[in-house]
Structure 1
Amino acid sequence: MRHGRRLAVDVGEARIGVASSDPDGLLATPVETVPGRDAAAAQRRLSELVAEYEPVEVVVGLPRSLNGGEGPAAARVRAFAQETARRIAPVPVRLVDERLSTVGAARAMRASGVSAKKGRARIDQAAAVVILQTALDSERSSGRPPGQCVEVVV
């Protein structure tokens, strides 16, 4: 397992959840929810978080259908990840499968007694935690970085 903090991003149309790991890559925790309607402002805030947390990489959840296909949401996330990679280089950005992360996060929040209305602002953070924890666990078990690295296009 590589040493260093990671950030994870759950990109939605309205909001972007952000989570962080500890430097040993053991535990993912929520950071904040960034408004996502203004893509430029969201990218600026994400760049600020990268400067603040100094991660070894940023993990972006890639939404796929249950059969592994990609639709318009995945194309939007790929474009977001490409722009993020360009802005925060040389920090690498990795795309990881996020199937069911929001569903799992919503289920966990409901189980802990958080109502859907109150949890809306936190669900994206919780989904980012699920994405990051899954990536950390995958790397720990396989010995390889998760997902695919986003190439920086200048």
Structure 2
Amino acid sequence: METFPIPDTPGAQDPGAGRRLGVDVGSVRIGVAVSNRDATMASPVETIQRRTGLRDEDGADIERLLALVEELEVVEVVVGLPRDLKGRGSQSAQHAVMIARRLTRGIERLRNEQRVRPRCRVQLADERLSTVVATQAMRTSGVKEKDARSRIDQAAAVEILQSWLDQRLKVLPRRLPKPGPKKGIVNR
């Protein structure tokens, strides 16, 4: 029986401020989302049409993701790890792990060439039900089924990334202003 990695914990080994890239790996398409610089809100970026679902021929997919890492100046890549409700992996989980490993190697190469941020890392996020949630949200918002097919992977990537960002904000210490007198106010 194959063992699968445990998803990473948001906030652990946190690279700090900066954009995050969310990735939903599918056999036909890869959905991509990005956060704002404050890492509080995820937005769709694009859907990468896969040339093939075969792992030996997905070099173009990896290169496109690496180009986005560089272009968007991200500090963290969050790859969805599909698991069933009992936490077990599948063929899709194996593929997501393989993509995450190849992205890690590619980011290391770009780091050596000083083309990405030094702290940039790849994390695996539990993505149970992300596509289901994304599909329901699209139906609720009135998106037609034909249009939804071309956007569902981006919506799933947004769901994966937004969940990661929300959990991250819960575990990181809040960066509130230090207590003390406000500017322009005289204490007497």
Match of 1:51 in 2: 70
Match of 1:102 in 2: 131
Match of 1:148 in 2: none
Deviating 4+ runs (over 2 angstroms): none
Alpha-carbon distance in 1 for matches of 2:36, 2:147: 27
- What is the Cα deviation at residue 3 of structure 1? 1.1
1:62 aligned residue (56, 81, 85): 81
Alpha-carbon distance in 2 for matches of 1:65, 1:25: 27
- What is the Cα deviation at residue 116 of structure 1? 1.7
Alpha-carbon distance in 1 for matches of 2:137, 2:85: 20
Alpha-carbon distance in 2 for matches of 1:37, 1:13: 10
- What is the Cα deviation at residue 125 of structure 1? 0.4
Q: Which digits, 9 at most, give the CA deviation of each residue in 1:85-140, with x for residues without a partner?
A: 10112420000000000000000001111112111111000000000000000010
Q: Does 1:137 align with 2:166?
A: yes
Alpha-carbon distance in 2 for matches of 1:72, 1:20: 26
Q: Which digits, 9 at most, give the CA deviation of each residue in 1:52-90, with x for residues without a partner?
A: 001011000000001101111101110111001101124
1:13, 1:37 within 8 Å by CA — same for their partners in 2?
A: no
Q: Does 1:11 align with 2:40?
A: no
Q: Superposition RMSD on alpha carbons, in Å? A: 1.3
TM-score by length of 1: 0.90
Q: Does 1:77 align with 2:91?
A: no
Match of 1:30 in 2: 44
Q: Which ranges of structure 1 fall in alignment gaps of 5 or more residues?
A: 145-154
Match of 1:122 in 2: 151
1:8, 1:132 within 8 Å by CA — same for their partners in 2?
A: yes
Letter in 2 for 1:114: V
Moved more, 130-139 or 84-93: 84-93
Higher helix share: 1
How many residues in Structure 1 have an aligned counterpart in Structure 2? 144
Alpha-carbon distance in 1 for matches of 2:154, 2:46: 6
- What is the Cα deviation at residue 36 of structure 1? 2.1
Identity %: 51
Counterpart secondary structure, 1:56: strand
TM-score by length of 2: 0.74
| Bigger Rg, structure 1 or 2 | 2
- What is the Cα deviation at residue 31 of structure 1? 0.3
